[in-house]
Amino acid sequence: MSGGVIRGRDLAQDLALRVDAVVVGTGAGGSMALRELARAGLDVVALEEGGVLASRDFDQREDRMLPLLFQDAGGRATEDMAIRVLQGRGVGGSTVHNTNLCKRTPDAVLDLWARKFGVAGAGVAEMRDAFETVERDLSISEMDPAMRNANNDALKRGCDALGWRGGPLRHNRVGCQQSGFCELGCAYDAKQNAIKVLVPQAVTAGARVYADVQVERVLHEGGRATGVHGVALDAAGLPVSRVEVWAPIVVLAGSAVGSAALARKSGLPDPHGQMGRGLRLHPGAVVAGRFDGAIAGWRGIPQSYECTELLSHEEGSDKRVWIVPAFAHPIGAAATLPGFGAAHMAAMRSYPNLAVLTAMVHDETSGEVDVDGDGRPVLRYRMSEGDRQQLARGLVGGARLLFAAGAREVTIPAIPPLRMTRASEIDALDLSTVRPHSVPLTAVHPMGTMRMGGDPASSVVGSTGEHHHVRGVFVADGGLFPTSIGVPPQVSIYAFALHLAPHMVERARRG
Amino acid sequence: MRGSSQLPLSRRRFIGAAVAGALTLAAGIAVVRTRGYGLRAGVRLAAMTPWQYVVVEHAARRITAPDRPGDASVPSADDVGVAAFVDAWMVRMPARVRRDLGRFLAYVEHVAPLSAGFAARFTHLDPVSQDRVLGRIESSSYDLLRAGFDGLKSLVFIGYYRDARTWGLLGYDGPLVGRPPGGWR
């Protein structure tokens, strides 16, 4: 037992429970649903595939934290290996390793979902309470400019010099030591996230949480959920015992990837072939600027300032790229810089003088989550030409910002690298090489595979979050979103889980 | 009729013999080419085969080749045990990923040198030739090969830059945790 969480590896024998509701996954959506169901008086259990970690476990070492915090030790990728997809595992999910960015679902996106996808009851006004509650519960506030590090300062200088729209970001951190290791878990317990705030509240309200339990199947019969089957895993990830939880309410909250894969493996009815489709990723790539002075971008809060000059959430906008700082620790930086051998090491010596920005695409590409013969998720995603152009536009924008901030040299790590020593060279770049398999692409925001909507022919769940064809199966993660949202999703996921929880409670009570 | 029935049979026999011969030859080459990979004393493998380990060892030396040869402050891939680290790392990866890595390493060792104009296997080439082979893979027109190289490069760099001895060349001062209060200030 750790912090009220039972470790599956400690189970002495097979586990069989009969409860009111079972939540699969304990990230932003799962933890929120868990708390709300427990507070409503339901007997509720959460099952989490990964382990449970505490602040003392986060030693700020990439090689040790990647396997603990990320799916496939950080090696998860799209099937064609073009995009690395960093996804959390463990109690707290991706809220343990994210960089605390907190933005509401844009109004234009909520309007679009209502207008075009028939999502009811989740308009701007109707979601306001949920957002405010999340922001209060997670102590979300605007970052103090005094806490802005040199990498973020470079972005702000660039925005100011070009007259581009930018501003400070809001975060869920209290007592931050500005170590800069947010993506490896907070050693100072400053993140006001799922594992620190919501899981303890859920446990206090009576919920039980089992870590190291991999759910293999959602059970359903006659169009109704009946529970889940899974296995408890030992420290090596090997099964040690069986787990059966019988419940009329099953909340899928294992991410847009995990939930879709589980739904498909479980054979949930899908007459219109919608489950797993519609995958959005927010793919991004980086551009690096070398400065004369020290940046030491690994020190301090990684992302406290944003540039929104090239981003609009209005439908059909030709501005779909968000620019934020994206400094990496040595392993991440080495993997991103182009080339190898002596030239690569020479570039790595510039590490303290680099400022790095990322261009994240508010994507329109529609991918798919499937499962392979071993039951593992397969992510298919072929970036559209429109998204590729947005990516190129964003990287060019990043290059302009870095030059405007005073960079001596700017590099887009394509094959071959696009290097510039003056801003005037930007217009002559051959941007055809800015494409998958040429620039390193990373995504951290899978969405859209279990979409909400009014029409069962084009969505997986209704506006209440309940599966169109299986009563009692709900979704409470980024899979819900009918489109890309174009902002970091954690607040949206927390808020939608909160918004949908009353429907889960009602279903549990009415049957 | 007799003659016409004999001809196809003969052709089938010929084709069958040719296929069998080719398979035997391929198997023989495969057996020969996966032998002769000596591991250093004390190396115990968890995920990779000996030949895969040796390919990673050679590739890691080139991927982390120093920009200032002779600079004793920069450790080599062998110094920090990159190949052993990659072997241990792969234990945690899904079977599909381990299989893909094995196939890619086979390509690096046996096929990529040929496409770069070398008859010898990758691990028998001199460093300059190995760089040429790796460079061709990195810039290959085949996306899958580029992706494979990117994956191998990432694995090697995890194994290399995890070691605190490499941080000096980066000016990186390592984790903050465990230091006196006050952070970076």
Residues B7, B64 within the same domain: no
Q: At what angle do helices B50-63 and B82-90 cross, to 10 degrees?
A: 130
User: Residues B110, B155: one domain?
Assistant: yes
pLDDT at site B50:
95
Same domain, B28 and B56: no
What is the CATH number assigned to the segment(s) A5-71+86-137+183-276+447-510?
A: 3.50.50.60
Class of domain A143-171+281-443: alpha beta
Tell me which residue in B143, B151, B158 faces A331 most closely, judged by beta carbons: B158
Q: Do A437 and A461 contact (CB within 8 A), yes or no?
A: no
The pLDDT value given to residue B1: 37
Task: Give yes or no for B52 touching A (CB within 8 A).
Answer: no
- Give this complex's ipTM: 0.92
Same domain, B78 and B15: no
Task: State the pLDDT at residue A420.
Answer: 97
Are B94 and A376 inside 8 Å of each other by CB? yes
The C-alpha atoms of residue A149 and residue A138 are separated, in whole angstroms, by: 23
**Residue B159 belongs to some domain of the structure:** yes
- How far from A265 is each of A48, A230, A258, A479, B156, CA to CA, in Å? 17, 12, 10, 16, 34
Mean pLDDT of the B167-178 span: 92
Q: Whole domain around residue B21: which residue ranges?
A: 1-33
* Domain assignment present for B181: no
In a domain, B183, yes or no: no
- What is the model's pLDDT at position B40? 80
What is the SS3 assignment for A238? coil
Q: Could you tell me where in chain A the CATH 3.30.410 domains are found?
A: 143-171+281-443
Give me the tens of pLDDT residue by residue for chain A, a chain 511 residues long. 455 799 998 988 999 999 999 999 999 999 999 999 999 999 999 999 999 999 999 999 999 999 999 999 999 999 999 999 999 999 999 999 999 999 999 999 999 999 999 999 999 999 999 999 999 999 999 999 999 999 999 999 999 999 999 999 999 999 999 999 999 999 999 999 999 999 999 999 999 999 999 999 999 999 999 999 999 999 888 899 999 999 999 999 999 999 999 999 999 999 999 999 999 999 999 999 999 999 999 999 999 999 999 999 999 999 999 999 998 999 999 999 999 999 999 999 999 999 999 999 999 999 999 999 989 999 999 999 999 999 999 999 999 999 999 999 999 999 999 999 999 999 999 999 999 999 999 999 999 999 999 999 999 999 999 999 999 999 999 999 999 999 999 999 999 999 999 999 999 999 8
Q: Which residues contact A154 (CB under 8 A, 6 or more apart)?
A: A289, A291, A295, A325, A355, A401, A402, A405, A406, A407
Domain presence at residue B185: no
Q: Which of A63, A342, A374 sits opposite B66 (nearest CB)?
A: A342
Domain membership of residue B108 (yes or no) is yes
> Does residue A220 carry a catalytic annotation?
no
Write down the pLDDT at residue A28.
98
H/E/C letters for each residue in A183-237? HHCCCCCCECCHHHHHHHHHHHCCCEEEECEEEEEEEEECCEEEEEEEEEECCCC
Catalytic residue of the set A445, A467, A468, A499: A445
Chain B contact set for A295 (CB, 8 A) = none
Q: Which band of pLDDT confidence, cut at 50, 70 and 90, is reported for residue B4?
A: very low
B70, B101: one domain: yes
Write down the pLDDT at residue B95. Answer: 87
B10 and B78 assigned to the same domain: no
pLDDT tens-digit map of B91-135: 988 888 899 999 999 999 999 999 999 999 999 999 999 999 999
Decide if pLDDT at B9 tops 60.
no
Identify whether residues B19 and B83 lie together within a single domain: no
The 10 Å Cβ neighbour count of residue A202 is: 28
* pLDDT confidence of residue B10: 65
Q: Answer yes or no: do B95 and A298 touch at CB < 8 A.
A: no
As for how many domains chain B has, the answer is: 2
Question: Is A40 in contact with A203 (CB distance < 8 Å)?
Answer: no
Residue B39, domain member (yes or no):
no
**B147 and B84 both lie in a single domain:** yes
Contacts of A416 in chain B (CB under 8 A): 139
Give yes or no for residue B6 having a pLDDT over 50. no
- pLDDT tens, residue by residue, B126-157: 999 999 999 999 999 999 999 999 999 999 99
- Above 60 in pLDDT, residue B7? no
A-B C-beta contacts closer than 8 Å: 133
Q: Which among B65, B93, B170 is the nearest to A75, CB-wise? A: B93
Asked if A82's CB is within 8 angstroms of B169's CB, the reply is no
Q: Pinpoint the residues of chain A covered by CATH 3.50.50.60.
A: 5-71+86-137+183-276+447-510
Residue B171 resides in a domain: no
Q: Is residue B137 part of a domain?
A: yes
What are the two backbone dihedrals, phi and then psi, of residue A289, each rounded to the nearest 5 degrees?
-120, 135
Residue B138 CA to residue B154 CA, distance in Å, equals 13
Q: What is the pTM of this model?
A: 0.93
